[in-house]
Structure 1
Amino acid sequence: MDYGVWEPARLGQIQLPDGRLLGWAEWGPADGTPVLLCPGAATSRWLAFGGGVIDAAGVRLVSVDRPGLGASDPAPGRTLTDWAIDIRHLVQERALGAPSAVGFSQGAPFALALAANGSVNAVAVVSGSDELAHPRFAHSLNPQVRGMVDAVAADSDAAEASFAGFGSAGTLWDLIITTSPEADRAVYTDPAFQHAFRRAMNEAFSQGPAGYARDTVLAMGRWPFDLTDVAVPVDLWYGQQDTSPVHSPDLGESLARMIPTSTRHLLPAAGGSLLWTHAEAVLRTLLAHDR
């Protein structure tokens, strides 16, 4: 089955004002409607979604490597707000106008940071991580995830070093496969998809694990923006079969209550891989906000 993980149409880097390079990849027509992709944990600009749907919908999909991953230079100590500033420069350099954003899995807080900072006009959170350090999840986290959240709260530097020691493409691939339901494993182990996914993970760790570790600290800690202040449309997409312990524990239910502009889409037969199994619905709904 074609899950839309096509080769990029264009690849490149921009130079930021502080001299760092930020890597990007694009799919779809160069004059299409711009959509920024914030990829999941430990992946890179190489893993797309949508394939032919993107071309048919006239979407210019732009995936960006976060600092320290893939083709983007490190930025030690970076924050979610720093990410929004980097993206503002990317938008200007690549003439993206007023883009929307998609945040998959651990990419969710990065996409929501763009919304909170006024950098995008709409967001789709797909199988997203939630603000796991928020008190509303005090008693509902997987014990291992609770340990990670508590470690970040107690000493974020020590937690970051611990995540770096754990992080590798192989280790995280094994974790994804063992914590996914059969519906998701069927997607992830499809030969074409697995090749694309593993390549994206290997590329993400090409500079070592520090970029992944910093991302994880930012995702597992308190987010530096108030979700109730998000003013652009936000679609929350979750599959009821999703068993990932690091996605939203209540599949976006309380997140939808916190974001006043949000709409929750709960798909009974889908799992965490719905970015690839339901790409057309995600994109069409996102594009409708532009109209």
Structure 2
Amino acid sequence: MEYGTAAPERLGSTRLPAGRRLGWAEWGPLDGVPVLLCPGAATSRSLGFGSHLVAGLNVRLISVDRPGLGASDPDPGRDLLDFATDMADLCRLRELTGVRGVGFSQGAPFLLACAAAGVLTAAAVVAGTDELAHPVHAAALPADVTAMIEAVRADPAAAERFFAGFGEPGEFWQRILTMAGERDRGVYTDPAFAGAYQHAMAEALAPGPEGYARDTVLASARWPFDPAGITIPVDLWYGAADTSPVHSPDFGAALSARLPQAHRHVLPDAGGALLWTHAGEILRTLLSR
């Protein structure tokens, strides 16, 4: 199967007004519709999706390393809305207009922060991490996820130090395989996919685990914005065979009710890797909004 994880066509970095640099990767035509990708946990700009489709769809896919990961400078103490400010600055400096966005897994809260800040014109959340700390999910979370959420609530700094102990790429890869269901494990262990994913993890964590640790604290805490204020169309994509305990316990049902223009899709034949197995459907829908 073609997963669309070819190496980036263009790599670069942009210096923000604050002086930090953000690393980015691109696929597709320079005059294509800009689509910002917020990658999953501990993966870098180099892991794209749908690389075999972007030219035909006239998509300019732009993946950005979050601060402290890969080629992006750290920004200690940042929050989700700080990331949205970074993306607004990046779009302005690179003269990107009419930007759509895709957020995969842990990238989803960062994508929705961008949507709340008015950076995007349409968004797609794919196997997205929900607002797990919201009371609506309290009874549905596994005990270990509940403990993680409570640890972040009680002492965010201590939780961040704890998460930094899980930033070794090989161990991280094994945790992904352990959490994956049978359908997803078939994708992740396919040599055509595994090499690209493992390279992106090693690249993201090369500066150290601090960027990943900060991301995980932010994804495990209450969001500093109200999804009800997001007025752009947001497609929520979940696979019914997704077994990850840190995505959405109800496959986005509660989240879609909080988003004024939500379109929820739960695909019976997909797992959590649907960003790569259903890239065409996701991109075509996003372009239609």
Residue 284 of structure 1: how far off its partner (Å): 0.3
Partner of 1:133: 133
Partner of 1:167: 167
Aligned length: 289
Can you list the C-alpha shifts for 1:35-85, whole angstroms capped at 9, x where unaligned? Answer: 000000000101000022111100000000000000000000001110011
Query: Which residue identity lines up with residue 199 of structure 1 in the other structure?
Result: H
Partner of 1:269: 269
CA distance in structure 1 between the partners assigned to 2:88 and 2:114 by the alignment: 9
Partner of 1:98: 98
Partner of 1:75: 75
CA distance in structure 2 between the partners assigned to 1:235 and 1:138 by the alignment: 24
Moved more, 161-170 or 71-80: 161-170
SS of alignment partner, residue 244 of structure 2: coil
CA distance in structure 1 between the partners assigned to 2:197 and 2:177 by the alignment: 12
Residue 182 of structure 1: how far off its partner (Å): 1.2
Partner of 1:212: 212
1:271-286 alignment runs, 5 A limit: 271-286=271-286
CA distance in structure 2 between the partners assigned to 1:147 and 1:217 by the alignment: 13
Partner of 1:41: 41
CA distance in structure 1 between the partners assigned to 2:168 and 2:121 by the alignment: 34
Which stretches of structure 1, 4 residues or more, deviate above 2 A after TM superposition? none
Residue 153 of structure 1: how far off its partner (Å): 0.2
1:51-200 alignment runs, 5 A limit: 51-200=51-200
CA distance in structure 2 between the partners assigned to 1:31 and 1:234 by the alignment: 24
CA distance in structure 1 between the partners assigned to 2:18 and 2:69 by the alignment: 17
Moved more, 151-160 or 136-145: 136-145
SS of alignment partner, residue 106 of structure 2: helix
Instruction: Give the superposed CA RMSD.
Output: 0.7
Partner of 2:249: 249
Residue 167 of structure 1: how far off its partner (Å): 2.4
Residue 168 of structure 1: how far off its partner (Å): 2.0
CA distance in structure 2 between the partners assigned to 1:162 and 1:277 by the alignment: 33
Unaligned 5+ residue runs, structure 2?
A: none
Unaligned 5+ residue runs, structure 1?
A: none
CA distance in structure 1 between the partners assigned to 2:212 and 2:117 by the alignment: 23
Can you list the C-alpha shifts for 1:145-193, whole angstroms capped at 9, x where unaligned? Answer: 1111000000000000000012221222111101111111111111121
